[in-house]
Structures are given as C-alpha cells and as structure tokens.
Structure 1
Amino acid sequence: MVAPAVPEIHEEEDLYVAVDARTESLQSLRELGPPDLVYLVKQPKTSGTRQTGLYHHVTGIDASSSASLAAYVNTLTFSPLDKTHKVVSGIYCCYNAFSHLDMRVEVKIPGSLESYCIDERGDKRVATEALWLETFLCAVLRAYLYADDGSGDAIKKIVGVRRFNPVTNTEMEHKFLEAAEKLFFMGRQLSSDPETQVPNTVSNHLTSGLLKYIHTTGRYTSGINLFEKIRTRDVEVSSLLAKVQMMADEEVQAVRLMYDALQDVPMDYALLDEQASFCQSKGEGEMALECAKRAVTAAPSEFTTWARLAEVYVSLEQWDLALLTLNSCPMFTYQDKDTPRMPQPSRIMLPVLAESILDEIDEGQPKQGDPHDYVHPSLRKLHAAGYQGTFLKAYNLLTKIAAAIGWDQLLKVRSEVFVMEEEYRVERKHVPKPAETLDAETNGDGAEKDEEEGEEEEETGSVSGPVSAQEPAEESLSGNGEETQPETSIERPEQTVASEVVKSGNEDPVGDPSHETYSQFRNKRLCERWLDNLFMVLYEDLRIYTIWRTEMAQFRQQAMEYKKSATEWEILGELAERLDHFDESIEAYQNCLAIRFSPKAMRGLLKLYEQQNDTRGMLGALIRLIAWQYRWYSEFSPELLFMVRKLIEDEGAVKVRSIVQATNLPQPVLDLTHQYCQLCAMFRSSGSDA
C-alpha cells in the first residue's frame, strides 16, 4: 500500500532550530508528549554546499529500537517533489513519557547512526534497552490516543503530521501487549484523561490506550488474557477485565467477576462505577443508583463518580437531584494533549498524492490567499463549542436535562434547588439586624448599596461574559436585520446568589441551621459559579438555535433561499447536535456539504446513515472520510477502523468489499478503504471470513 505524502516544513535560515525548540519544551510536557519529530538536512545534488533544514511530525512508527527509527528516516531520502536536492542527514526524536526523556537517532547518509536521549535539562544520556521498551509503548499509545476521530479536529490542530497504524499484524500486537504487561504498574506516571483528577493503576493513559485498542480492533480475547494475567498481581484490575468482557458480550462472566472482586475490595470506585454503568444499560435505574452512590462515597474527589450519579438521576427523571449532584461535581482545569511548539517556518509544502485525489473533496475548498468564510459574530462566540474535559461532560448532562424537560422547566427546577439572587436580596431586607451592626449599616447605607451594586455587577460580569449583550429580538443570523427580526421565547436565566456574597462581612451562610431568619432557604443550596456559567452558555446556545429555526421558517414562508457560508452551516450543525436536535443538525450538515466537503459534516451524516442502518450510505461516507484523512497524511483513524469493522461484523466482508468496489469513485480512493478491510481480515475480525 502506498504511504501518505510527506509534508515539508522548511527552515532556510538556521539549521536545527526546530530540534532546539523541542529540547526547550521538554520540561513543560505533562502528558504523553508531542508527535515524533523528523528533521532532515538537504543540500544540492550538483554544486554548492548550502544546506537547508526541513521537518514534519509523525505518529505510529515502530520505536522499539534505534534501527527501526533510522529505517523510517531512510525512506525519506528520495523525494518525488524535490529532485535537485539530496538528504545528507536526519534526526528522529521520539518522547519517552515514562522517564521524561526525548529519544533521538541521528542518521548520516550514507554512513553512521548514533542513538542517545536528551533529558529535561538538555543533557545527553545513554539510550538503554529498558528506555527503548518504554519509548515503544509510548509511541503506540500516542498513535491511538492522539489520532483523529474522523472529524478532522486533530488533523487541523497540528500542521504536517503523518499518522500511521502502529499495530498492523498479530506479531506487532503481541509485542505491544507484552510491553504493556511489563510496564503496566508504571502507567500512573503517564497522566490520565482530563476527567480523572489523580492517575491510578486502572485510570491512566496506558489503560485508556489499551481499552481503545481492544475496542477498535475487536481483539477481546487478547485483552481478556492480558488483564487476567495482571489481575493475579492486583485485584483492582478486575474493573478493566470486566470492561473488556462487557465489550465481548461476556456479561455473565463480567457480573460474576465484579461481584467476586467487590468481596475483596468493597470500596473500589472503578468496579462500583462499572456496576452502575451495567445496571444503567439494562434499564435498572434503582440498582444503578445504589452502585453510583457507593462509588461517590468511595471516591468523593473524582469527577467520574459524581457524573455517573447525575446520569443515573437523569435516567430516573429526578431532575432536582440531578442538578444538585451536578453542582457537587469536582471540576478540573482541562489539560490539553501535548503539542509541538515550533518556530515560525520560512515556508510549508503540503503535497497531495494522486492516490488520494477526489474531486468532490477538493472542489470548493478555499485556495491559499482566499478570504475566509464569513461567520456571523453571534456564531463565533458560542463558548460551548470550545468546552473540553469535565466542563464538556457537565454541559452534556445539562443539555440532556434541557432536552428532556424543556428550558422553562429546567429554570423552574433550578430556582427550586438553588438560592436565586433576587429572592436572597428580598429576604435580606426583612431580616432583623443584629444590634451591634445596625448602627454601622445605617450610617453606611449609601456605601452598602454601592457595595451591593458592585457585587451584582461583578457577579453578572463573571457569568455573562460569554453571553451576547444583544436582546434576542434585535439579532438576526441572516445577515440582514431589516428583513427579519425573529422573536424568541427563550427566557434569560436569573442570577443565582454567589457564595462570596452570602459569606461576606458578618452574614452567615445560607442553609446554616443556626440561622433561623433565612427559613425560606433552609432546603436550598448555593449554585457553583461554573454551573451558573453553564446555564448562561446553554441559554446562548438555545437562543441562537431558536433564532436560526425561526428565520428558516420565515424564509420558507416567503419562498426565499436561506443562505449561509459552509463554515456557518457547520457551526449550526454542531449547535443542533449539542442540543440533541438530530434532524436539524443533519439538515445543517447537508447544507454545508452542498457547498463544499467538510469532514465534520460528513461525520454527522455518517451518524444518520448508522441510525437508519443504511450500509451503502455509511460506506459512501466512510470512503470519503478515509480519502480526506489520507489527503492530510493520516492513513489511520481508530474511529473509522471501528466503523469498518462493525460493518464487516454485521454484513460480512464480501458484501462490504463489493459495495465499496461498486461505488463510482476512482480505484485508488477505493483501495484506501479496502486497506481498512484488509486490516480486519489480518486480525480475523468477526465476519471477515464471510
């Protein structure tokens, strides 16, 4: 199979600036590290000795030894784009997140090879076999956890990254799982998903990568064998084993395992969370509730346990308890994946291989120097689109509640469980003042009022920053406010009272049983500022969505075309998807694709075909997504591989390959999808022999 093209990011002034920048960034790395850096030095083939440096990034290369990395550098010595220069040397840099070292291989062409590692201070060290084992495992995990999900978000984040599949056969799988077994109990050194506060034995990037690999490839037996071996050393691994058994539809064994393991470790929150998840999937809400409550007791400082409890309350339609539980979730600052910090290049070459050229993907795409799509200002400031980690999960839970009971009912439940600012101020006016503070407050009445107004202004600013100052009736998304002025019925949420206001000065906190005067608030809680902020962000999402749908209806009544740019349709599709309006999101994505190809919109359309069990539609979307990924140097996406595998499992490999082949698209493009089918056959996935 032909490899993706090689992007070239050029440095023509000083050599090795990119390598130096990588060395300087080593001490700031907190996750698995950035993609591998490959730096080449070229000089003219004929005369002259003026050298130029160029580099690109890569994931998925076998990093088990210096020889395998040198072999990759050697594949780059011939460039079909540049026949006047030759590569004279190269450096391959691969980060070892276990030992916080950058493993490097320097290749002189022709000639020598030197391998060493650089520590966080920039000092050289000897590269040992143990360090290469750690580096190999980190490289596989990066390839899986930093891969693109098909939407193109990861690809657009870093320019010029070649993405390869790190495990292409059973021999490489054995090597990967063997390394994972040897280093399993060092996994907590690798950090963890943003929803986990403290990495532990069963929740870290190593376990996440293993589970993603097993889920993607369907190699359940290999996963079960691995975790059964490790479980003999630590019973906590039972939660991971149970997860894989659930994936493999071995539910009876998984339930028995969880029951037996909880006899030994009754307060293992990962096991309790897995039990709650299983009960929830079977519609046993009350049983899930008990498990989720115990998980919260076992790990009160973890977000995942509280989020699970809130989910259970949502499924039980206990909206007040769901909101109170959400309010109790510990929120963590999002730690993004490590990305390379490179100096400004002199020029960038992003070649296209003939094998990935597909007219419908390339047509309509903006050319270099073209103006960007116009995007209405109100669509640019939808802050929910940028949420990650715990805030994304919390926002998704809030939108679930809003979709189930409606915005007005959600505000009503909110005012029933949280102390609202207005009612707090009204109540305060009727509270008898303590004698010792009465004179001071009377004398400083003007100051108190100013202070209250200042507090109110400060609180309003803290939550309404992301919210538009415009009233709904004054704003139009059509770009012509004179033609349409849609009215919306979305009520703006009132402020809840801030804990800083309640606890300022000589006031007692609301809800303190000793404070008899605030009887109205005895059973109410203070809403966390971050949750108050989520309500305002959700309000803005709903407001813009309502304006959009109102305008669409008005334009249809007037038999006028409702025009938007491709980027605006993509944003509206995401907005509708966030708010659980599936049909409207598909409509927006289809309008986007009618203008030009968008991987995000095509990914949304893939969900529609999946919901309709439309095999041909799904394969048509997958062919285009795989071709787009390959166009941007990615031959591997775990999510797309999973979709192909599931189709083969449901329909059989022969039918899937026949439908792909019958598609009226260029053969090289179809071969890219066949490559995914061949991978399923290599791993003997269910249905691949039929």
Structure 2
Amino acid sequence: MLTPAVPEIIEDDDIGLAVDARTESLPGLRELGPPDLVHLVKQSSKAGAKQTGVYHHVTGVDASSSASLAAYVNTLTFNPSDKTHKVVSGLYCCYNAFSHLDMRVEVKIPGSVESYCVDERGDRRVATDGLWLETFLCAVLRAYSYSDDGSGDTIKKIIGVRRFNPVTNTEQEHRFFEAAERLFFSGRQLGSDPEIQIPNAVSNHLTAGLLKYIKTTGRYTSGINLFEKLRTKDVEVSSLLARVLLDGDEEVQAVRLLHDSLQDVPMDYALLDCQASFCQSKGEGEWALELAKQGVTAAPSEFSTWARLAEVYVDMEQWDLALLTLNSCPMFSYQDKDSPRMPEPSRVLLPILPESVLDEIDEGQPRQGEPFDQVHVSLRKLQAATYQGTFLKAYSLLTRIAASIGWDALLKTRSHVFVMEEEYRSERHHSVTPKMPSSKNASTIALSGTPNGHPKASNGEGSDEDAGSEDDSPVDDEKTLAEGVSTASGVNGDGDENPIIKTDRSMEKPVPTIAAEEVKSGNEDAEAHHSEYPKFQNKRLCERWLDNLFMVLYEDLRIYTIWRTEMGQYRQQQMQYKKSAAEWEILGDLAERLHHTNEALEAYQQCLNIRFSPKAMRGIMRMYEKKGDTRSTLACLIRLITWQYRWYSEFSPELFYSIRKLIEDEGAVKVRSIVQSTNLPQHVLDLTHEYCQLCVTFHSSGTDG
C-alpha cells in the first residue's frame, strides 16, 4: 500500500527531550502503552551545522525483533521533501505491556544497531527473545485498539501518528495467532476495556483485539481453529469460540457449544451473556431474560451483565424494570488509553502526499492563524457528548427508552419507581419518626421482575398508591422551558407516533429524586418498617449518577427541541438558518444520540456543505449502511479513506470492515467498478482499491469471482 507521509515534531534546542519524557511516563502506564516513538537526530549537510531532534509516533510496525524496528528507522533516512539534512541516528521505542518494559532499538547511520529495554525505574535491561514475542503481540493489539474508526476523533487526539496495518497477509496472521496462543493466558495482565471491572482469561485487551481482528478481516476459520485449541486447556474459552462461530454464521454449531459448555460451567457469565445476546437477536425475549438474570447472579459486580439485563427489559418494553436495572449497574470511572505526554515542540511539520490530495477535503478548512468556528455556549456544554465507558452505555440505554415512550412517559415511570425529593420531604413533615421506606434493593426487584411488589405492575404502571404520589409531586413553572418549546421525543406517552414538535404543552424538567446519603443522615434508620412511609413503601432510591443522566438527557432534548423549532420557524418565513460547520456537526451528533436519524443526516449534510468533516461523513455513512445504499456508502468511504491518508493513517479497521461487508454483499467486481466510476482523481480511487485488494489477500467472501 502507499506509505503515508512522515510528520515531524521538531526539537531545535534540547535534543532527546521526547525520549526523556517517555521514560518518565513509564511508571504511570496502565493499559497497552502509548504508540511507538521514533526519534531521529538530523544534521545539516553544511559543515559544522548543529544537530536537530525530530520525532513522530507510529502504530502497526512489525516489532518481532530489533532488526524489523531498525529496518523501519532506515526507511526514514531518505526524505524527498528535505534534502538539506541527513539522519545521523535514530531511536525506536516500543512498549511491552506484558513485562512493563520499553523495548528500544538505537541505530547509528552509518554504523551499528543496539537493542535493549528500559524498565519503570529507567534502568537498562537485556532484550530477550521472550520479551520480543510479547512486544510483537502488544504492537499488533495497539494498532487495532488505538486505530481511528473513520470519524477522526482518535487521529485528532495525538498529533503526528503514522498508522499502519499490522497484519497484511496470511503469513503475518499466522505469526500473530501463534503469539496470541502462547501468551493467551497472560492476557489478563494487559487490562481490559473500561466496561469490565476485573480482567480475566476471556475479558481483556488480548481477547478484545483478537475478536476485533477476526471480525474486521472475516478470518473466522482461523479464529475458530485458534479458540478450539485454547478451549482444550480452559473450557471458559468456549464463550469466545461461540462468538466467532455466531459471527461466522455457524449458528447450529455455536448453540451446541453453548449448551455443552454450560453443562460444565453453568455460572460462567460470559457464556450466559453470549447466549442471552443470541436469544435477543432471534426475538426470544423471555429466554434472553432468564439468561440475563442468571448472568447477573453469576457476576453481580460486572457492568456488562446488568447492562444486558437492562437491554432485555427495554426490548420487552418493561420500562420500569429497565430503569431499576439501570439504577443497579455498577459504574466505573473511565480510564482512557495510554497516550504520550510530550514537551512543547519548537515546530511541527505536517507534510501532505500528492496522492492524498483531494480539493473537496481541503476547501473551506480554516488556515493557520484563522479563528476557529464559533460554537454557541449551549452546544459546547452538552455533557452527553463527552461520555465514555459505562456512562456512555448507560446513557444510550436511557435514550432508547426516551425514544420509545417519550419524555413525559419516561418521567412518569421514573416517579413510579424512585422516591422523589418533594414527596419524601412532604412525608417526613407528616411523620413523627421519619424512616427509610424499604429494606429491599433495586437488584432483587430487577431480578424478580416485580417492580412495585405487585407481579402485574409493569411498563410504568405502578400501584394506586404510587400513582397518587406522582400526582402530588409538583413541577415548578420555572422548570419548564423558558422558550415555551415542546418535548422533542419522537413518540408521546401513549406510544403513538407524533411529529417531532408538540406545541400543546412544554417539556418538564426532571424533578430531583432523594439522595440515599440524605435519607441515611442523622439518626435515620435505613432498615425501617414500610408502614412509616405508606406512599412510597415499594419505591427505590435513585443513584446520583442516574439522576444526573436524566438532567443530561433533558438538556439534550431541550437543545434539540429549540433547534428543530427554530428551523421550522425559519422555513415558514423562507429564511436561511445559519450555523457554523462545527455547530452543525454537534447538532448532527446530538440528533443521532437521540435516535433521530433523518434530522442527524440533515445536520451532517449542512456541515459538509460548508466544509469537509470526517465525523459528519462517518455519520452519514452509518445511515447509508443501514439503508443498504451501496453507491452512497462507497462515496463516503472513498473520502474517509483519503482523509485518513492525509493524516498519516493507511489503515482503519472500521473502514476496512465496511468495504469487506460491501464486497461480501455485492461482490468485489461490482464494488471495484462503482469505485472506479466515481468522478474523482485516480490517485484517490487507488487508495480505496488498496483496501479492496486486502480483501482479496484474505480471501474474503465475494472475492472469488
């Protein structure tokens, strides 16, 4: 494939500061480590000229030996855009997350190659073959884990990162799988995704990387062979094997495997979750429900089991139980991927290859020194856009409920299952000895499937007492929208489809619930009898984080409603509704977050009319993929691939997966023909053809012809 250009972050005065900063950061690394660092020392061709330090980051380079890393450094010695300097030495740093060592290869040009490793204290150690095997595997996992999904978000986080495909043929795949097999049961040392609290043999960065690779490339047979061998050593690997079988359309074999494995380990939550997910996909809600409950019982401290149970309740439209389950989810602080912390550089050079130039991408982009887009303060403060990990998953579940039943019905369901602040204070005022309403907890209620102690109470329809308490809780006029705009949910409380804007009433701001800390303060007893608080004897205390999610959702809906109302007014008056490109991008993301697909598409299109945005293009592509529009999807892919090359990324697993699925559905010949018929420069089309060629190399379905 075409090699991306080489960015240069320049150290004019203190050469080696970047390497020192990397060494100092080693004790703080907790994940797979930062991208590899390549530091070069350049010298002017003129006699007596001083030396300059330049560096960049890279992922996907073969790190199986010191020779392969030295070979990469040698490719940088000739730079056609800089003929006035020569490279006199280079240092390649690659992190080994298994042993917590930084593997380093120092190259003198011309001259010697020296390899060693640096530990967390900064001391040198000998680099052995075993350490190089670990480093090779970490490098492949980092390339997949730290890749960009096409939206550009990852690329924009760290400046000057070259991203390569770590596995370009079946021979390299064999080496990758062989290393993974040898180190598989050490994988938990690498940590895990933020949704997993305790890494184990089947839930860690190694297994996540393997599954992502298999799904991206469609190499299901290779994956099945790998996990079959590992399963003979540990039956828990069956959950990974079953997932690969299901992805590879081997459903009968997967179901048999799940059944047999659960006979051996009936309380393996990964197996139960896999089976529950399969039943969900087949519309068997009752079966999925029982499996999800067993999963929670097997792993009550894991977020994923509770999230699965909440998903099942949402699918079954049991909204109150979905909220109770969501309230029981153990939430974890999000830990971002390890990223380099570099000193301020003297200069930064970001060259552009002629092969990645596309006028459509470059036109309208702000030039250096020009002011950034103005973004209204209300759009900048949308907290939901920053969510990651467990909070992102929980918020997406809450938005699903809101999109299904509407904001008003969501608030009504919330007041049925949680103790509201107003009613609690009112009850305390009339009670001689205030006590906590119930000793039951939301976990047991969610598992039993009886939200208010009555088996028939579901879908937000509580007991008469609960209904009475909800009617008594007032909503201040100050808490309604000042603009008088209406609720932005797609459906009303009765479940009937309505237009986006309802002008008959305004959208209520969520009334706060009572905090558990407040109830338990002073001399109050958390284990009191129900009779002290008859109005909410079966209600639960809402967690503060979930209460905050309601406020964040309200703010999302409020801004969305104002936008749609203003748009409607401007159209009625036949006036142009103006926003900056950044604002349209945020509005598109907002609409997509709230499950308003057409409105998101409209906002993203408006953004692209002003200038190219990878995030907007990626959002549009997702919607075309859902509609099965091959030509439009490919048009988006061509532009996204070109933008990725523009910013030194030759490989994005998500974009490769999209092309592979198109080839699987339409055939390689048709896909290539559609790409070639696009009215764009040939050098741009060739970049997409390289992705298609990868599918041929891996013998993907649809490439036989």
Q: TM over 0.5: same fold?
A: yes
| Matching residue of 2:532 | 517
Question: What is the CA distance between 1:172 and its match in structure 2?
Answer: 0.1
Where in structure 2 are the equivalents of 1:21-420 lying within 5 Å? 21-420=21-420
The answer as to whether partners of 2:2 and 2:650 remain within 8 angstroms in 1 is no
Which amino acid counterpart does residue 684 of structure 2 have in structure 1? V
The answer as to whether partners of 1:487 and 1:547 remain within 8 angstroms in 2 is no
Among candidates 692, 696, 701, match of residue 677 of structure 1 = 692
Task: Provide the rounded CA distance (Å) in 1 between the counterparts of 2:545 and 2:589.
Answer: 22
Question: What is the CA distance between 1:614 and its match in structure 2?
Answer: 1.6
**Superimposed CA distance per residue, residues 252-307 of structure 1 (whole angstroms, 9 cap, x where no aligned partner):** 00000000000100100000000100000000000000000000000000000000
Where in structure 2 are the equivalents of 1:526-675 lying within 5 Å? 526-675=541-690
Task: Provide the rounded CA distance (Å) in 2 between the counterparts of 1:608 and 1:245.
Answer: 27
Task: Provide the rounded CA distance (Å) in 2 between the counterparts of 1:659 and 1:2.
Answer: 21
Task: Provide the rounded CA distance (Å) in 2 between the counterparts of 1:417 and 1:353.
Answer: 59
Which amino acid counterpart does residue 695 of structure 2 have in structure 1? C
| Matching residue of 2:516 | 499
When residues 137 and 504 of structure 1 are mapped into structure 2, their CA distance, relative to the original with a 3 A threshold, is same
Question: What is the CA distance between 1:470 and its match in structure 2?
Answer: 9.6
When residues 488 and 552 of structure 1 are mapped into structure 2, their CA distance, relative to the original with a 3 A threshold, is farther
When residues 470 and 118 of structure 1 are mapped into structure 2, their CA distance, relative to the original with a 3 A threshold, is farther
The number of aligned residues is 645
The answer as to whether partners of 1:473 and 1:487 remain within 8 angstroms in 2 is no
Which amino acid counterpart does residue 77 of structure 2 have in structure 1? T
| Matching residue of 1:473 | 482
Task: Provide the rounded CA distance (Å) in 1 between the counterparts of 2:350 and 2:504.
Answer: 47
Task: Provide the rounded CA distance (Å) in 1 between the counterparts of 2:75 and 2:484.
Answer: 56
Question: What is the CA distance between 1:662 and its match in structure 2?
Answer: 1.0
Task: Provide the rounded CA distance (Å) in 1 between the counterparts of 2:431 and 2:135.
Answer: 66
When residues 15 and 110 of structure 1 are mapped into structure 2, their CA distance, relative to the original with a 3 A threshold, is same
Provide the identity percentage: 77
| Matching residue of 1:490 | 507
Q: Secondary structure at the residue paired with 1:472?
A: coil
Which amino acid counterpart does residue 661 of structure 2 have in structure 1? K
Task: Provide the rounded CA distance (Å) in 2 between the counterparts of 1:368 and 1:636.
Answer: 27
Q: Secondary structure at the residue paired with 2:482?
A: helix
Task: Provide the rounded CA distance (Å) in 2 between the counterparts of 1:236 and 1:617.
Answer: 42
Which amino acid counterpart does residue 565 of structure 1 have in structure 2? S
**Superimposed CA distance per residue, residues 554-600 of structure 1 (whole angstroms, 9 cap, x where no aligned partner):** 00011100000000000000000000000000000000000000011
Question: What is the CA distance between 1:82 and its match in structure 2?
Answer: 1.2
| Matching residue of 1:449 | none
The answer as to whether partners of 2:103 and 2:116 remain within 8 angstroms in 1 is yes
> Which TM-score applies when normalising by structure 1?
0.92
Question: What is the CA distance between 1:631 and its match in structure 2?
Answer: 0.2
The answer as to whether partners of 1:33 and 1:339 remain within 8 angstroms in 2 is yes
Which amino acid counterpart does residue 644 of structure 2 have in structure 1? Q
Give ranges in structure 2 of 5+ residues lacking alignment.
Answer: 435-477, 486-502
When residues 269 and 659 of structure 1 are mapped into structure 2, their CA distance, relative to the original with a 3 A threshold, is same
Give ranges in structure 1 of 5+ residues lacking alignment.
Answer: 435-468, 477-485
Question: What is the CA distance between 1:475 and its match in structure 2?
Answer: 10
| Matching residue of 1:483 | none
Task: Provide the rounded CA distance (Å) in 1 between the counterparts of 2:182 and 2:505.
Answer: 60
Structure 1's consecutive aligned runs of 4 or more residues displaced over 6 angstroms after TM superposition are none
Task: Provide the rounded CA distance (Å) in 2 between the counterparts of 1:472 and 1:370.
Answer: 36
Task: Provide the rounded CA distance (Å) in 1 between the counterparts of 2:211 and 2:334.
Answer: 22
**Superimposed CA distance per residue, residues 445-467 of structure 1 (whole angstroms, 9 cap, x where no aligned partner):** xxxxxxxxxxxxxxxxxxxxxxx
Question: What is the CA distance between 1:499 and its match in structure 2?
Answer: 0.6
Task: Provide the rounded CA distance (Å) in 1 between the counterparts of 2:253 and 2:626.
Answer: 30
Q: Secondary structure at the residue paired with 1:115?
A: strand
Q: Secondary structure at the residue paired with 1:47?
A: coil
Task: Provide the rounded CA distance (Å) in 2 between the counterparts of 1:500 and 1:188.
Answer: 36
Task: Provide the rounded CA distance (Å) in 1 between the counterparts of 2:481 and 2:31.
Answer: 42
The answer as to whether partners of 1:488 and 1:546 remain within 8 angstroms in 2 is no
The answer as to whether partners of 2:480 and 2:508 remain within 8 angstroms in 1 is no
**Superimposed CA distance per residue, residues 99-129 of structure 1 (whole angstroms, 9 cap, x where no aligned partner):** 0000000000000000000000000000000
> Which TM-score applies when normalising by structure 2?
0.90
